[in-house]
Amino acid sequence: MSPGTAIIQKPPSLISRSHFLNADMLSAHPAKLMKLLYRTLSSCLVLILLVAPISAQEGMIHYDRVVKIEIDLPPEMESMRDRIPTENTTKMVLQFNEFESSWQASAEQDEPRTREFGGGGTWMRMQRNRELNITYINHDEGQMTDQRDFMGRTFLIRDEQPVLAWKLTGEQSEFDGYVVHRATAMRDTSSVEAWFAPEIPLAVGPGPFGGLPGAILVLTVDEGRMIFTAKDIQIGSLEEGAIVVPDEGKEVTQEEFDEIVEEKRKEMEAQFGGRRGSARFIIRQ
């Protein structure tokens, strides 16, 4: 038996039903058989989730967030592609209790830095700033407050926590000593895969992601475009005042914030995208 394998005894209701299964029924009623098998598998999955302890109600999880970097280089810079990073890693931290949670960059994140690449009159600057964004969620009320730092300005977005239509696949594995279960969903046009631990029975996860019967320890967006991986799981009491509702910045709606970002993107594209020879490409992470 492999580590983390759960032994599930058949519920009495399923045992009693199995007494009625015989060769005649299997051949005469295939639809009834499939319906019974589906109920059996669903009951087993529910039992697996229910056997988890319910003592873990407060704690902190440190994650690595890895984002792939995709850059379209002009022909004169193709020779430098192997010198340009293909991904960016940020250390993040989730603090939670049974009522609320907060998500932000860890104090251990790297210092801001700028790297430049170029030659022949064409240069690219990759600038990495310290992330100041904070996501707070009140799980009782289903409300989320986002504090976003963008181009030196701070914005405050209040909205409902996104609710995803998770599908439990029935797949099980082990991660860092926890039995984890796989679930999938779509968020807008992005595919999402989560591995959650019922042993930490709170519907929390990286950023706005949650809503499963256990903390999400590994989450993948768009088959690897963005990956969150738990690196340090600490279950226990938090310091008093560790979870704070952000209140700084200009209050805007999500739609208004998206318009501000798009307007700035077009402005930078017009400023830098049309130049040749001495062109400068700026990528903010």
Over residues 80-111, the pLDDT tens digits come to 777 778 888 999 999 999 999 999 999 876 55
Do 197 and 271 lie in one domain? The reply is: yes
Choice among 34-48, 123-137, 219-233 with the minimum mean pLDDT: 34-48
Q: How confident is the model at residue 48 (pLDDT cuts 50, 70, 90)?
A: very low
Residue 250 lies in a domain: yes
Q: Express each pLDDT in 160-176 by its tens digit.
A: 999 999 999 999 999 99
E strands within 32-120? 59-68, 87-96, 100-105, 113-119
Do 31 and 172 lie in one domain? The reply is: no
Do 85 and 24 lie in one domain? The reply is: no
- Percent of residues, the chain, with pLDDT higher than 90: 54
Q: How confident is the model at residue 242 (pLDDT cuts 50, 70, 90)?
A: very high
How many domains does the chain fold into?
2
Radius of gyration, CA atoms only, the chain: 24
42 versus 58: the higher-pLDDT residue is 58
278 versus 264: the higher-pLDDT residue is 264
Other CB atoms within a 10 A radius of the CB of residue 254 amount to 14
Tell me the two tokens of residue 158. Answer: 């209040």
pLDDT value at residue 125: 58
Is pTM, for the whole model, over 0.85? no
Domain extent for 241: 59-284
Residue 20 lies in a domain: yes
Report d(CA 144, CA 138) in Å as an integer: 6
Q: How confident is the model at residue 38 (pLDDT cuts 50, 70, 90)?
A: very low
Choice among 1-5, 154-158, 271-275 with the minimum mean pLDDT: 1-5
